[in-house]
Amino acid sequence: MYKIAFDVMGADNGSEVAVQSASEFLKSRKELYLVLVGDKKEIEESLRKFPIDENRFEIFETSEFIDMNGSIMDIRRKKDSSMVRALEMLKDKKVDAMITGGNSAAFIAGSHFILGELNGITRPGFMPTLPTAVDNKLTLLLDVGANLEADIEDIIGYAKMANIYSKNVLKVENPSVAQLNIGEEKSKGTLLQKEIYKELEADKNINFYGNLEARDILAGKVDIIVTDGYTGNMCLKAFEGASKILMTEIKAQLYKTIFTKLKALTLKKSFDNVSKKFDYKNHSGAILLGVDGIAFKAHGSSDVKSFKATLRMTCEAIENDVLNKIKKEIK
């Protein structure tokens, strides 16, 4: 039996979606016990629609929460917020992990103040798991925006931590690690990137692939891609924008005439398969790697499917004891 503190407040779609996700997900994970953190009335109301066996959960009542428009200052101001309480439970080892769909900036600040960083880590990184063009191949990308900047130690730390994660959680035998760069050659990029290249190449515990260009992030060429949070964030958003615009245009073209509309409908399954393959919701949620605790951020606009994916990923991190393995490696 293990426990997760689930901050059900503060995400875009309200607490009911979070409670529904908890209710549905618990059925698939017998060893999981959830602490639902937030407004008691709201949670109880949602539980009437989406009941949970009383032996599988408890409610931790809080009087406030940090909303999407909140700031990092709220971590200090809102002592009884669901996010702060969930982080404190993790800090006090009352739970094995925590999840929030709330304000990212507050979550990063709160993790810093309450959990603290692991030995040798100064800038933790958000690490999403990305679907790729290769069937069943997932790629870990970090940092995607927990920090805007990163120095050599940060990037090497990302590589080491993601390496343990990939081996233990994704069960990749010898994960390949690439540095995101504007060109593949060793000589490419900033001075910092050239230094990082040398260090990763020399590290015997890292299976270094070399530099990887942004066009290949989703190509499934490597298991892990390390970069600074500014660049990682830009690339993720560029992908998001390109996909959205392309899919919209393709659909607009297909539906332009009734003639092709009929045909397009019969082709719907094909499109659905593509969407499914690249659906980030199946792997939604990013672990904040480098803090002293298993802390996951669910997407702010999470629906039930997304929240359940985050719950699953959090369980897998606990089940594979990834935090202790990381601590052992980077100490």
Closest CA to 179 of 147, 204, 156: 156
Site for a copy of itself in 176-205 (CB under 8 A): 180, 182, 189-190
User: Which of 52-60, 89-97, 143-151, 170-178 is the region at the interface with a copy of itself (rule: CB under 8 A)?
Assistant: 143-151
Q: Which stretch binds a copy of itself (CB under 8 A): 38-46, 258-266, 280-288, 290-298?
A: 258-266
**Contact region for a copy of itself (CB under 8 A) — 20-28, 117-125, 152-160, 229-237?**
229-237
Site size toward a copy of itself, by CB under 8 A: 48
Structure token digits, residue 192: 């910092």
> Residue 167, SS3?
helix
DSSP E strand stretches across the chain: 2-7, 32-38, 57-61, 97-100, 125-131, 138-142, 176-180, 207-212, 224-226, 286-289, 294-297
271 binds a copy of itself (CB under 8 A): yes
Residue type, 195: E
Which lies closer to a copy of itself via its Cβ, residue 172 or residue 264? 264
Give whichever of 216 and 223 is closer to a copy of itself, judged by the CB atom.
216
247 binds a copy of itself (CB under 8 A): yes
Q: How far is the CB of 234 from a copy of itself (least distance, A)?
A: 5
**Contact of 108 with 288, CB cutoff 8 Å:** yes
DSSP structure class, residue 150? -
- Distances 135 to 43, 180, 250, 274 between C-alpha atoms, Å: 38, 22, 23, 11
Nearer to a copy of itself, 1 or 252 (CB): 252
The partner residues of 180 in beta bridges, in order of sequence, read 212
Instruction: Identify the DSSP state of 216.
Output: G
Selected from 233, 279, 321, 330, the binder of a copy of itself by CB under 8 A is 233
Residues lying near a copy of itself in the complex (CB under 8 A): 133, 145, 148-149, 180, 182, 189-190, 213-219, 230-231, 233-235, 237-250, 253-254, 256, 260, 263-264, 266-267, 270-271, 273-274, 277-278
